[in-house]
Chain A
Amino acid sequence: MEEYKYPEIFVRDKNSNKYICRVSDEYVLVKEPVSNECYGHIIYEDILKYFDLANPILEKDAIVVPEFSDEKLLKGLFVKKGTKLCLIEISGYEPYVSPREGEKINVKDKIGMVITNKYEVRVIRSPCEGVVIFVINIVWEKPEKYILAVVSENDVGQITIRKSQGNHV
């Protein structure tokens, strides 16, 4: 069976039960903080709490792991506090989003669709260019919605995260 992969978010200085910490020039996944620069795991949708929605920026440094799995090495996307966000809301009776975390999109790219309650398809195109960093599904609101956060390609750092041998998660 194919290994299950899912996205996870880690936020700087957040208390949690698992962390990504920077040790020397390496990022490691650990159970307890092991350095001064650690990022605590959060519930995915809680990343909204770290958005300044009025002037859309990220208020904390964060790491997104687009495909969290049992692999020993994971790929992560690093975004700094103060990074400008382009927020795209896709809401409707049945909303669908195509790009995943880490995918690059351009202005006018098709990024999703909404099936209305009259069973009509509305194609959603991107108003901005960059890398999709968060795809937040807000299922508790009606109509259901997705919020996509897109950042400039220059604001995303690609990191590799190693799972700690001695401090298993």
Chain B
Amino acid sequence: MSDPNIRNRKIEHIRIVVEKDVDFPNMCSEIYNEIILVHRAFPGIDLSDVDLSTRFLNYELSAPLMISGMTGGDPLTTKYNKKLAVLAEEFRIAIGVGSERSLLIHKDEPEIIRSYRVVREIAKDVPVIGNIGANTLLDLRNEDISYIISSIDADALAIHLNPAQEAIQPEGDTRFNVKILERIEEILDHICVPIIIKEVGNGLSYEDVSLFYSMGIRFFDIAGACGTNWILVEKYRRKDKITTTIADHLSSWGIPTPIAIIEARAAAPDSFIIASGGVYDGLRAIKNIVLGADLNGVARPLIREIYLRGLNAGKAFLETMIKEMKIVSFLTGAKSISELKKKPLILSSDMLSYLEQRGIDLREYKEIRGGIE
């Protein structure tokens, strides 16, 4: 399980994500612009009637938002996780931590444990999500899995699938074979919290979601290809020409967030779907809900605000986002998430063509996009 570079990597990742342009090209602006929610000149409600609160993992959230797992694993990351946890607690939204593999490698180092644990210590009243890479599961014992859950009192464990990132990462571990499915089956039998299957920014497909759904998993974070592209993040950590060239060629690889939401909802009609990947404003967040997501995950814009401008800038970002979500909801005439999910949705001809080619029936999809009530 040794990985001497893991702590440096955690710091490098934050620096690159904040300082470099590592987003997908134009961040799916075209796709999002072509998803139309119908404006209601007479919404039939007051703006003050809009209540976007929702339940997630037995907690009441003020808005369908979570701060996606980003970091932890080096003492220098503690301050970021601390600030993110302050925001999660203050705004009553869910929060995840970055991959906890470092926690297992440095079990005897209190400062490393604290870099993750600080999240639960501050965010006491919201769901906290643990995190581990699927490719590392074959090396871990059930006790290790229990440890990463209990060390932060996690309410769920996110298992992330990041083959694109690992393929470009200098220390990349590209073991993503079917033995992982067997391992996840064993883990499901062993742990008492739900598993969330998540991508990290290249999107979950119908096929991926269907596989894990058939194993009994009901939580998916589709992390689509509209936000941070980890292929590009790793590119900045490579020196060799061959891999950096490949990374450039793959700069738009993946399933865009809106499409991944539809694929996931079609594959797992009664599941809880988290939309992340380029959710940088309230309008996108509401479009994701109407498309079939239950919650939105935000990462890069928040860490960027905190890193460059401090905690108050992070607060301002979330305030803006939640207010925008409420206004957009108001303008569609929906005063709650369940009403939003029933609002009309207009998709572009390109998206309709995509769905047809993927064998996803539009009528069936529109019936199930509401997901769980």
Contacts and interface: CB of A to CB of B under 8 A. Distances in A.
A115 B206 contact: no
Nearest to A115: B211
Interface stretch (B177-185, B323-331, B341-349): B177-185
Interface in B200-227: 206-208, 210-215
B210 A113 contact: no
A121 B179 contact: no
Interface residues of A, number: 12
A118 B211 CA distance: 9
B220 to A, nearest CB: 14
Nearest to A95: B178
A162 to B, nearest CB: 33
B178 to A, nearest CB: 5
Interface string A111-126: 0010100111111000
A121 B185 CA distance: 10
Contact of B178 (A96, A118, A119): A96
Contacts of B185: 110, 123
A121 B215 contact: yes
Contacts of A120: 210-211, 213-214
B207 A119 contact: yes
B178 A115 contact: yes
Contact of A113 (B181, B207, B212): B181
Interface in A42-64: none
A119 B206 CA distance: 8
A120 B207 CA distance: 8
A120 B181 CA distance: 11
A165 interface: no
A122 B214 CA distance: 8
A110 B179 CA distance: 11
Nearest to A116: B214
A98 interface: yes
A119 B182 contact: no
Question: Which interface residue of A96, A113, A119, A122 has the most chain B CB atoms within 10 A?
Answer: A119
B211 A119 contact: yes
B237 to A, nearest CB: 26
A110 B188 CA distance: 14
Contacts of B211: 115, 119-121
B187 to A, nearest CB: 13
Given A121-B211, A123-B185, A113 B206 contact: no
Interface in A84-99: 94, 96, 98
B363 to A, nearest CB: 19
Contacts of B210: 118-120
Given A119-B207, A120-B210, A110 B182 contact: yes
A113 B178 contact: yes
A78 to B, nearest CB: 29
Contacts of B214: 119-122
A119 B208 CA distance: 8
B179 to A, nearest CB: 7
Interface string B166-182: 00000000000011011
Contacts of B179: 98
Contacts of A98: 179, 182
A168 B208 CA distance: 49
A110 B184 CA distance: 13
Given A113-B178, A120-B213, A121-B214, 14 more contacts: A98-B179, A98-B182, A110-B182, A110-B185, A115-B178, A119-B206, A119-B208, A119-B210, A119-B214, A119-B267, A120-B211, A121-B181, A121-B212, A122-B214
Interface of A: 94, 96, 98, 110, 113, 115, 118-123
Closest CB pairs A-B (n = 9): A120-B214, A119-B210, A119-B207, A96-B178, A121-B214, A121-B215, A119-B211, A121-B211, A121-B181
7 contacts: A96-B178, A113-B178, A119-B210, A120-B213, A121-B211, A121-B212, A123-B185
